[in-house]
Amino acid sequence: MTFAATILTLYPEMFPGPLGVSLAGRALEREDWVCDAVQIRDFATDRHRTVDDTPAGGGAGMVLKPDVLAAALDSVEGGRPVLAMTPRGRPIDQARIRELAEGPGVVILCGRFEGFDERLFEARPQIEQVSLGDVVLSGGEPAALAILDACIRLLPGVMGAPSSGAEESFEEGLLEYPQYTRPQEWEGRTIPEVLRSGDHAKIAAWRKARSEDDTRLRRPDLWERYSGARDQSASGARRNEEG
């Protein structure tokens, strides 16, 4: 099945952009995914092809008009999740990426200027407001590229080794363990001994411990969720044994 990406943007020339090279680019050539960038401005109705107007209530910048955005969105074939890029949205995570990658594709609406007229989201409740994280970009396009990249690498046949997705950061709710490669010694630093032991059980235990330690130190938010879930399933197992 081909993963169909439609991007609604004022800058369609930004797509596929960096997704036209390397892994994603080869997948595009094979038609594992297709990329259709729609110019929002084509749906403006006035002589000047206006897409934005000044914010109600005053303030700096311009706001994207709901009528033009809705016309652009309504022109696109449905049956796929619709994501609007906005820092006001729910931060995207790997679990949602995985769901998207398993589906038919995605429609992504990219903002510019001060963003979208809020009534768009009331009138088209199927739109999922999504953020790339707690940063402010100048436009939704880099966020869309990042989300598409994350989906594409999960499509069947896109990544070399099918297992290399499973141990990645976030897949188990933890950061990945640190990686090393040759040379064995570099600037006086050696690769941790255990990784050279050939003892797969010991290596797995070391990696798990480092994943947990690094997550606890670097990402207390992830750690809280992970250790909470782990304690819950442990007490569930205990209850089962007792009962």
Q: Which of 198, 188, 192 is nearest to 180 (CA)?
A: 192
Minimum distance from residue 67 beta carbon to ligand SAH (Å): 17
Does 82 bind ligand SAH (CB under 6 A)? Our answer is no
List strand residue ranges (DSSP E) for the chain, in order: 3-9, 33-39, 52-53, 63-64, 82-91, 105-109, 127-131, 185-186, 189-190
Does 85 bind ligand SAH (CB under 6 A)? Our answer is yes
Does 143 bind ligand SAH (CB under 6 A)? Our answer is yes
Q: Which of 6, 9, 131, 211 binds ligand SAH (CB under 6 A)?
A: 131
Q: How far apart are CA 125 and CA 103, in angstroms?
A: 19
Q: Which of 27, 40, 132, 174 binds ligand SAH (CB under 6 A)?
A: 132
For the chain, how big is the Rg over CA atoms in Å? 22
Q: Point out which span in 5-13, 15-23, 65-73, 128-136 binds ligand SAH (CB under 6 A).
A: 128-136
Q: Point out which span in 27-35, 79-87, 93-101, 157-165 binds ligand SAH (CB under 6 A).
A: 79-87
Q: Which of 151, 144, 141 is nearest to 27 (CA)?
A: 151
Lookup: tokens for 2: 């081909």
Q: Point out which span in 19-27, 51-59, 137-145, 186-194 binds ligand SAH (CB under 6 A).
A: 137-145
Query: What's 112's DSSP letter?
Result: B
Lookup: tokens for 76: 């696109």
Does 86 bind ligand SAH (CB under 6 A)? Our answer is yes
Does 158 bind ligand SAH (CB under 6 A)? Our answer is no
Q: How far is CA 220 from the centre of its chain?
A: 21
Q: Which of 53, 114, 108 is nearest to 80 (CA)?
A: 108
60 vs 166, which CB is nearer to ligand SAH?
60
Does 150 bind ligand SAH (CB under 6 A)? Our answer is no
Does 30 bind ligand SAH (CB under 6 A)? Our answer is no
Q: Which residues bind ligand SAH (CB under 6 A)?
A: 85-88, 110-112, 114-115, 131-133, 135-137, 139-140, 143
